């Protein structure tokens, strides 16, 4: 499991011992595993060893001082998902329900703490990444091989990052160079899945450079499984994805640093569809190669400056793109390709000033400009808008007596949207460390989200009368950290006004909603063993006309859970997990009426084996019991499947 405020401890790989006798090797492994487990558990009590969390405040914070509910997914965690996408990784994160319309490469959605899928803000190295037409982020097109780490912040964060962060924030950091080395990987598995990747890193004095390339393809599965559904055709809908990434930085001196990073991912995914005969209403051309071709990416130029003893300046210019081209026949009789395009470009300029008021207090002041433009073959009456924002933040950590201390956080932000005017949001939070092991706190934050271009202008769908969404989120937590345990209990309530919802008649309207829940996360690490998981109860309901909360929102299971157990050895690591979720409502793919999808539980096992100092074998066995289940009505999911990979590492 990904731990909620520290990095998962990677397997100890001491290749120098491979020639020793088995008895000596086993003894050495036991000692090293004991030291590793102790190190992992001591992260909380040793500030110098703690990971730093950025997303919860826009500043690096020791994990033990973070008030927000954060999951950190380290590079060591991500290495187990080589060749896969971000959606595969996020399925195991507390508070998230991942929905996908079929197999790899098909459209996906993330519902965080019961919020709408487009109410989770996705950042890549601080740059907004989403479609301005739908509002959602194409996480299925983000390959894990391009990623250094992921931070998931649950809870409203509009006062930090502006609109769209009503449910929370997923921030993705691209690969960086830590040492000079080359990494090559290949893999394959079920559905004729094939993968390959390469990463080159160089650290030389003030220069740090990383280049990454990856490719993955699969025959996939039949996207639509209900024979009565529109577009059903009994074939496999495959996908392929290629990506390139660059991250470079150069330190001019000890006070000034320049950098650039970016990635591009190009994909092709097949899907099921049809044309309809206007006389007989029969489906025509179902065997056509319906497909989406995508180009997604994000990049930025940045500079860091230390201006005196207390003032730091960060300047960044970034841009993200989300390009989609869909192919279908021109007509019932002409099977030449007709294309539909939806292209989004978001350009963002940030200035962040950080002032160290003292060793315990930090003040931030910033400005942000965001410009969103779309270029489509569909007629939109408006294709551009911009937002100018100013924001400020305060962080304090105060020692009181003995092991007791207090944490304070305050943020405020004003966004001026050219379509909807000014909106001010804020966050107030406080925490108390009762001793070295127990930390409790409370936060209150507000959020908002402007309607997307689709919400407002898409033909026969958009509604010009829609109002911006707004939210009031309150949450409290208590966490315990003491070897070998780490646990956190969080409760929250997020009241949303003017939630944009889709009605059965395919029309959009505003409704009020309430998201309320409890999450328990726990990890136990000992010599050679690990155990943990999370249990989430999320009640996401809309407000009926009589002002009572009674209707469950679609695609929001009330119960989510994960239980894992791991065996960690010098030469191998094995982890088994049970991933479960309760029943959820969806619109039936045929009748478009509300239907209840049953809950399910999946058993997954994965392991790695160090064959020699440079070579590692990995094996994933997913849905081992071959359960049949549905994430959305009428769309397929994978049965039992396997993925095998080899990774070769060579110092340069």
3-state secondary structure of 27: helix
Q: How confident is the model at residue 410 (pLDDT cuts 50, 70, 90)?
A: very high
Q: What number is the average pLDDT over the span 103-120?
A: 94
For residue 332, CA distances in Å to 262, 279, 335, 505 come to: 42, 12, 7, 27
What average pLDDT is seen over the chain?
90
Q: Is the pLDDT of residue 8 over 90?
A: no
Q: Is the pLDDT of residue 30 over 60?
A: no
Q: Report the 10 Å Cβ neighbour count for 47.
A: 11
* Model confidence pLDDT, tens digit, residues 145-185: 899 999 999 999 999 999 999 999 999 999 999 999 999 99
Which tokens hold the place of 287?
A: 């065997």
Residue 566 CA neighbour count, 13 Å, CB half: 27
Provide DSSP, 109-121: EEEETT--GGGEE
Q: Which of 489, 460, 455 is nearest to 475 (CA)?
A: 489
Q: Is the pLDDT of residue 603 over 90?
A: yes
Out of 35-39, 56-60, 270-274, which region has the weakest mean confidence (pLDDT)? 35-39
Q: Report the 10 Å Cβ neighbour count for 547.
A: 7
3-state secondary structure of 63: helix
Handedness of CA 71, 73, 77, 83 (dihedral sign): positive
- Residue 546: its pLDDT value, please? 66
Task: Give the global pTM.
Answer: 0.92
Q: How confident is the model at residue 1 (pLDDT cuts 50, 70, 90)?
A: low
- Phi/psi class of residue 157: alpha, beta or left (left: φ > 0; alpha: ψ in -120 to 50)? alpha
- Cα 58 from Cα 66, distance rounded (Å): 11
State the SS3 of 153-204: EECCCHHHHCCCCCCEEEEEEECCCCCCEEEEEEEEEHHHEEEEEEEEEEEE
Q: Which of 108, 120, 122 is nearest to 155 (CA)?
A: 120
- Residue 507: its pLDDT value, please? 81
3-state secondary structure of 10: coil
Q: What number is the average pLDDT over the span 350-376?
A: 97
From start to end of 553-629, where are the E strands?
559-568, 572-581, 584-587, 594-597, 600-612, 615-622
Out of 1-10, 67-76, 315-324, 391-400, which region has the weakest mean confidence (pLDDT)? 1-10
Q: How confident is the model at residue 23 (pLDDT cuts 50, 70, 90)?
A: very low
Q: Is the pLDDT of residue 43 over 50?
A: no
- Residue 277: its pLDDT value, please? 84
- Residue 49: its pLDDT value, please? 67
CA 60 from chain center: how many Å? 19
Q: Is the pLDDT of residue 32 over 80?
A: no
* Model confidence pLDDT, tens digit, residues 463-492: 999 999 999 999 999 999 998 999 999 999
Q: What number is the average pLDDT over the span 57-80?
A: 93
Q: How confident is the model at residue 119 (pLDDT cuts 50, 70, 90)?
A: very high
- Residue 19: its pLDDT value, please? 34
Q: Is the pLDDT of residue 6 over 60?
A: no
Q: Is the pLDDT of residue 228 over 50?
A: yes
Q: What number is the average pLDDT over the span 51-75?
A: 95
Q: What number is the average pLDDT over the span 33-49?
A: 44
Q: How confident is the model at residue 47 (pLDDT cuts 50, 70, 90)?
A: very low
Q: How confident is the model at residue 3 (pLDDT cuts 50, 70, 90)?
A: low
For residue 37, CA distances in Å to 24, 290, 562 come to: 20, 51, 22
3-state secondary structure of 481: strand
Q: What number is the average pLDDT over the span 49-65?
A: 92
* Model confidence pLDDT, tens digit, residues 550-586: 789 999 999 999 999 999 888 889 999 999 999 999 9
- Residue 281: its pLDDT value, please? 79
- Residue 16: its pLDDT value, please? 31
- Residue 547: its pLDDT value, please? 65
Q: What number is the average pLDDT over the span 191-202?
A: 96
Decide: 2 and 73 in contact? Cβ < 8 Å.
yes
CA 11 from chain center: how many Å? 24
- Cα 156 from Cα 152, distance rounded (Å): 12
CA 375 from chain center: how many Å? 26
Q: Is the pLDDT of residue 607 over 70?
A: yes
Between residues 23 and 102, the one the model is more confident about: 102
- Phi/psi class of residue 335: alpha, beta or left (left: φ > 0; alpha: ψ in -120 to 50)? alpha
Q: Is the pLDDT of residue 272 over 80?
A: yes
Q: Is the pLDDT of residue 25 over 60?
A: no
Decide: 78 and 164 in contact? Cβ < 8 Å.
no
- Residue 40: its pLDDT value, please? 41
């Amino acid at each position: 499991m990904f731990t909620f405020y520290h990095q998962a401890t990677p397997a100890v790989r001491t290749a120098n011992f491979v020639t020793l006798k088995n008895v000596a090797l086993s003894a050495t492994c036991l000692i090293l595993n004991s030291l590793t487990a102790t190190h992992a558990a001591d992260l909380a009590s040793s500030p110098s060893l703690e990971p730093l969390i950025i997303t919860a405040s826009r500043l690096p914070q020791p994990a033990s001082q973070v008030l927000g509910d954060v999951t950190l997914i380290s590079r060591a965690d991500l290495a187990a998902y080589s060749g896969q996408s971000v959606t595969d990784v996020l399925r195991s994160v507390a508070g998230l329900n991942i929905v996908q319309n079929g197999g790899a490469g098909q459209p996906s959605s993330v519902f965080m703490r019961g919020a709408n899928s487009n109410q989770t803000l996705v950042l890549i190295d601080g740059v907004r990444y989403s479609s301005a037409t739908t509002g959602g982020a194409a996480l299925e097109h983000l390959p894990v091989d391009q990623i250094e780490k992921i931070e998931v912040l649950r809870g409203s964060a509009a006062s930090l990052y502006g609109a769209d962060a009503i449910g929370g924030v997923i921030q993705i950091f691209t690969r960086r160079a830590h040492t000079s080395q080359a990494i090559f990987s290949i893999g394959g598995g079920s559905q004729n899945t094939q993968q390959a990747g390469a990463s080159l890193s160089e650290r030389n004095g003030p220069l740090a450079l990383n280049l990454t390339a990856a490719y993955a393809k699969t025959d996939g599965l039949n996207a639509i499984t209900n024979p009565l559904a529109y577009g059903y055709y009994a074939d496999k809908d495959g996908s392929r994805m290629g990506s390139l990434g660059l991250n470079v930085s150069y330190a001019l001196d000890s006070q000034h640093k320049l950098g650039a990073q970016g990635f591009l991912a190009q994909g092709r995914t097949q899907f099921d569809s049809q044309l309809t005969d206007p006389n007989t209403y029969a489906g025509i051309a179902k065997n056509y190669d319906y497909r989406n071709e995508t180009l997604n990416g994000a990049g930025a130029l940045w500079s860091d400056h230390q201006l005196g003893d207390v003032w730091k300046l960060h300047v960044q210019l970034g841009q993200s793109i989300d390009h989609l081209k869909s192919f279908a026949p021109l007509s019932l009789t002409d099977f030449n390709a007709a294309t539909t395009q939806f292209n989004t470009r978001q350009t963002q300029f940030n200035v962040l000033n950080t002032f160290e008021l003292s060793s315990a207090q930090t003040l931030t002041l910033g400005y942000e400009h965001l410009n969103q433009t779309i270029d489509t073959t569909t007629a939109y009456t408006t294709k551009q808008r911009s937002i100018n924002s100013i924001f400020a933040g305060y962080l304090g950590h105060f020692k009181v007596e003995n092991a007791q201390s207090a944490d304070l956080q305050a943020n405020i932000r004003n966004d001026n949207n050219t379509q909807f005017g000014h909106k001010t949001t804020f966050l107030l939070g406080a925490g108390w460390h009762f001793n070295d092991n127990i930390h409790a706190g409370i936060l209150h934050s507000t959020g908002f989200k402007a309607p997307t271009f689709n919400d407002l202008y898409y033909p026969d769908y958009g509604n010009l009368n829609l109002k911006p969404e707004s939210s009031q989120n309150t949450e409290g937590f208590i966490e315990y950290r003491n070897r070998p345990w780490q646990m956190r209990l969080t409760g929250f309530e997020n009241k949303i006004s003017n939630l944009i919802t889709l009605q059965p008649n395919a029309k959009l309207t505003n409704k009020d909603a309430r998201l309320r829940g409890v999450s328990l996360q726990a990890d136990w690490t000992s010599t050679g063993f690990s155990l943990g998981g999370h249990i989430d109860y999320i009640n996401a309901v809309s407000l009926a006309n009589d002002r009572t909360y009674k209707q469950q929102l679609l695609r929001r299971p009330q119960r989510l859970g994960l239980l894992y157990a791991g065996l960690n050895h010098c030469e191998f690591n094995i982890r088994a997990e049970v991933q479960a979720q309760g029943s959820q409502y969806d619109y039936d793919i045929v009748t478009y009426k509300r239907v209840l999808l049953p809950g399910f539980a999946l058993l997954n096992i994965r392991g790695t084996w160090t064959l020699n100092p440079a070579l590692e074998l990995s094996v994933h066995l997913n849905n081992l019991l071959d359960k049949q289940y549905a994430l959305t009505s009428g769309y397929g999911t994978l049965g039992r499947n396997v993925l095998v990979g080899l990774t070769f590492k060579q110092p340069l």
